[in-house]
Amino acid sequence: MTQKLNGKTALVTGASRGIGAEAAKRLAQDGAFVVLHYGKNAAAAETVLAEIRQAGGEGALVQADLAQADEVIKLAAQTKEILHAATGKTTLDILVNNAGIAHFSGFAETAVATLTETFAVNVVAPFLLTQNLVEVIPDGGRVVFVTSVVSKTYFAGIPAYAASKGAVDTLIVHLAAELGLKGIRVSGVAPGAIHTDMSAWLGSDEGKATANNMQALQRTGQPEDIANVIAFLAGPDGAWLTGTIVNASGGTKL
């Protein structure tokens, strides 16, 4: 087990599955104590934590509904308590704002409730979480946002999701400038088509062909591909990057 993050602490939102689960496992593998946030699937989160511990890592679980602003603020407070109780530290070195939702509906069919929920989870939640944790993120700390290539290129059927990720891209730049004064690096990773529960269509031959037709690299992207980039941004090798959004899409729509 490599120990690039030995002694560091991390919070990963949406860590019960997909990119979040793999990011949590990778950060733990690199030596960090990882707080795994989940929304509804406690069993899946417990499985991820068990895998981390079996591999020799350490972590803890915390639940919150990110669509509710008060629960986001509560999540920040609980994270501080968990870290202090488990590690004795009062600092959070790495915050990975990964959790997100996507509703597949065209522009004309997108309901107000869909738009509101999408922005609540994808934009308001990471904004508030970062705002309420920044006081315990030290000089040299990292904030990593998972955004998407759809903020910059058209993909049919997800205008609300794409717009929310455009807002995240803007937030990355502004926070990098502001928090850089405290020595905090703020970056993002923009996946393309990654085979997760959110992109179940990639499980079919037709879905794989559709993705390959958009990509330079002819294989299906996996959560591990994005977790590796997150680990780079969170680790010592990413120390001179801030305000940067890494396109990790296999060369989508070049």
**Segments making up each domain of the chain, as ranges:** 9-247
pTM given for the model: 0.94
Q: What is the pLDDT of residue 75?
A: 98
* Distance of alpha carbon 195 from alpha carbon 108, whole angstroms: 27
Say which DSSP state 141 is in: -
Q: What is the pLDDT of residue 212?
A: 72
Residue among 89, 174, 171, 82 nearest 138 (CA): 89
Helix (H) / strand (E) containing 87: helix 69-87
Q: What is the pLDDT of residue 242?
A: 98
Helix (H) / strand (E) containing 115: helix 112-119
Count of residues making up the chain: 254
Q: What is the pLDDT of residue 220?
A: 84
* Distance of alpha carbon 151 from alpha carbon 140, whole angstroms: 28
Q: What is the pLDDT of residue 98?
A: 98
Which residue numbers in the chain have pLDDT < 50?
A: 1
Q: Which CATH superfamily is domain 9-247 in?
A: NAD(P)-binding Rossmann-like Domain (3.40.50.720)
Q: What is the pLDDT of residue 203?
A: 65
CA distances from 64 to 69, 85, 221 (A): 10, 19, 28
Residue of 33, 38, 145, 161 with catalytic role: 161
- Identify whether 154 is a catalytic site residue: no
Q: What is the pLDDT of residue 201?
A: 59
Q: What is the pLDDT of residue 200?
A: 66
